[in-house]
Amino acid sequence: MIKPHGSDTLNPLYVEDDAKRAGLIKEAAGLPSIVISSAAAGNAVMLGSGYFNPLTGFMNKADAMAVAKDMHMANGFFWPTPVLSMVKDASAIKDAKRIALLDPNVAGNPVIAIQDVEAIEEYTDGEMKEMTESIFRTLDMDHPGVNAFNTVGKIGISGPIQVLNYSYFDKEFPETFRTATQIRDEIGKLGWETVVAFQTRNPMHRAHEGLTKMAMEAVNADGAVIHMLLGKLKKGDIPADVRDAAIRKMVELYFKPNTCLITGYGFDMLYAGPKEAVLHAVFRQNMGCTHLIVGRDHAGVGDYYGGFDAQTIFDDITKDDLLIDIYRGDHTAYSKKLKKVIMMGSVTDHTKDDWVFLSGTKVREMLAAGEDLPPEFARPEVAKILMGYYQSEANK
């Protein structure tokens, strides 16, 4: 199985020992505390889960600026996006050396982690602009990632953390949320050596299904990990529980038995396109996958990125940076001529009318109206689940 990023073994920051964790929770009650942002809570969950191995906590300004600029920390270690805890007001923890981090996403704001504070640093407007442009390739506040990044505050709290829980993810998605350690263990038990990861924040239509199968065949994979984002998305995206049900039904009916693991991770979507694709590669390596599928406009939003920018960014990333391999997928759709899903770039004799392709807007309109999607576009059983969701939304 592929090694984790930056270490021989995975080093998750979640405190596994029950007695030690109980002691830390008791200690946290007497510590200065601060409610962190949803993004920072997601970072804590990823650190606790081992996905952000080998990081030990939140980055300081020097590392964050260096990572944003050229995907390397100040010491030269490869990392694609800053891992930060930013707040608007740090007065509640002024001069504190050890603090309790409170979860903004759970009622009552329970402690999610304890942090040893190494620095509290304010970023200038110029530094925020520089980081934003480097990460997202735009300063447009209509970009959901840019907006989220620039509205949580400009004061960074850096230092190592001890993670005490996985926020709401393991409770709301007990069948799906898995840590990197758990996925590694499952891959090991199955005896898989070559493993493809498929990233998704959406339900999987026929094109996604086909792309995953193509990748598995191309690299002679033992299995695939379908790994869905369970955190916050932009308005209009389909909720995680609906996606989960749709994906499970598709795998149950249309993949060979025992060839797919359906899992999820706790993180808020960045919509950072190419940089987020590289982050996806890092934590898929940490969970034991040998290949990551990077399709057209991977992790993108709107028209901020070119269709294949998330693939070409890997052209300059070497095995010294990352061990995981990238399977590059073209735009994929159902060919009426060939009566199967293929990569559109693989044929030259097709016209527009030879493809079954629907826009996201058209799909939503049809489902909300109770119209069946073409079976060439979506499996009927999957479409039925999605139709139930859109019709319930339309009737609210």
> Which residues are part of the catalytic machinery?
201-202
How far apart (Å, rounded) are the C-alpha atoms in residues 86 and 91?
A: 13
Assigned token pair, 200: 């998704």
Assigned token pair, 116: 């040893």
How far apart (Å, rounded) are the C-alpha atoms in residues 69 and 81?
A: 9
* 3-state SS, residue 98: strand
Q: What type of residue is 49?
A: S
Partners of 156 in beta bridges: 86, 121
How far apart (Å, rounded) are the C-alpha atoms in residues 64 and 361?
A: 37
Of 133, 163, 132, 128, nearest to 58 by C-alpha is: 163
How far apart (Å, rounded) are the C-alpha atoms in residues 342 and 167?
A: 40
Of 290, 300, 230, nearest to 266 by C-alpha is: 230
Cβ(6)–Cβ(77) under 8 Å?
yes
Partners of 74 in beta bridges: none
Length of the chain: 396
Of 328, 248, 333, nearest to 291 by C-alpha is: 328
Cis peptide before 4 (omega within 30 of 0): no
Reported as half-sphere exposure (CB side, CA atoms, 13 A), residue 230 has a value of 30
Cβ-Cβ contacts under 8 Å for 86 (sequence gap 6 or more): 37, 39, 40, 123, 152, 153, 154, 155, 156, 157
How far apart (Å, rounded) are the C-alpha atoms in residues 262 and 275?
A: 24
Please state the φ and ψ torsions of residue 80, each to the nearest 5 degrees: -85, -35
How far apart (Å, rounded) are the C-alpha atoms in residues 164 and 19?
A: 12
